Amino acid sequence: MNILAIFNVVGVLLLLLSGLMVLPVGIALYYDHPPLPGYMADSQAFVLTLVVSFLIGLSLWKILPSGVEKLRDREGFAIVALSWIFIAFAGAFPYYLSGYCPEFIDAFFESMSGFTTTGASIFRDIDSLPRGILFWRSVTQWFGGMGIILLSMAIFPALGIGSTHLFKAEVPGGVTVERMQPRLAETAKILWKTYVVLTVLEVILLR
């Protein structure tokens, strides 16, 4: 198994995650919620997580060899499994560093629940959370609603990374991947564009 190539792809996903945190940083800075005693403000927690995720992701992407031409189905399964773990792990730190999840296992659960759109939560009073944390929680659910791997399929070809193995690892059995292979990236882009347009329309209608 090409371990280095697997972590190279995981690095790209961490870069995507750091990009997702830009909006919560802005929201947290705008509302400037006072920090809990003994913890950093939610804006600081987002900035620290963003910077660390970006540096680790950039290092994995630039330093490790991609070996994309050698990726096989088992590498695809490994990338999907590790991606969910790494993304949820990194996404847990804003909850943990800001003190709203004092136990990291709770923060990890909340993050994984969001990215997998499970719907479960460890928070009893969600409305009392700072706007930045609330927005991040919504972002993880929105992002997970379409799927990390589906977004990866849309952008990986531009990076020279094949998406077929990721698709085969992510979709349920019975789907004929070979027939869809020439159109995987294009299909992913269309689905994401539709998802974004519907989201914008819903935001406008709910104002």
- Hey, where are the domains in the chain? 3-146
For 50: left if phi > 0, alpha if psi spans -120 to 50, otherwise beta; the answer is alpha
Q: Which residue is associated with the tokens 């800001």?
A: 98
What per-residue confidence (pLDDT) applies to 154?
53
Distance CA 194, CA 50 (A): 27
- What's residue 186's pLDDT? 75
Residue 86 to residues 181, 184, 190, Cα–Cα distance (Å): 27, 24, 26
CA–CA distance, 106 with 122 (Å, rounded to integer): 7
In percent, how much of the chain has pLDDT > 70? Answer: 76
HSE, CB side, 13 Å, CA atoms: give it for residue 50: 16
pLDDT tens column, 71-90: 676 777 788 788 889 999 99
Distance CA 25, CA 156 (A): 26
- Asked if residue 126 has pLDDT above 60, the reply is yes
Q: Residue type at 133? A: I
CA distances to 8, 58, 64, 103, 155 from 159, rounded to whole Å, are 11, 13, 14, 37, 7
Q: Is the pLDDT of residue 163 over 90?
A: no
Q: What single-letter DSSP state applies at residue 127?
A: G
Across the chain, mean pLDDT equals: 82
207 CB-contact burial (10 Å; exposed 0-12 / middle 13-18 / buried 19+): exposed
pLDDT in tens, 89-104: 999 999 999 999 999 9
At 153, the pLDDT band (50, 70, 90 cuts) reads low
| Confidence bin at 195 (pLDDT 50/70/90) | confident
Dist. CA 3–CA 75, nearest whole Å? 8
Give the mean pLDDT of 192-204: 89
Higher pLDDT, 25 or 152: 25
Q: What span, in angstroms and rounded, lies between the C-alpha atoms of 134 and 117?
A: 15
| Tokens encoding 80 | 């999907």
Average of per-residue pLDDT across 109-118:
92
Higher pLDDT, 75 or 19: 19
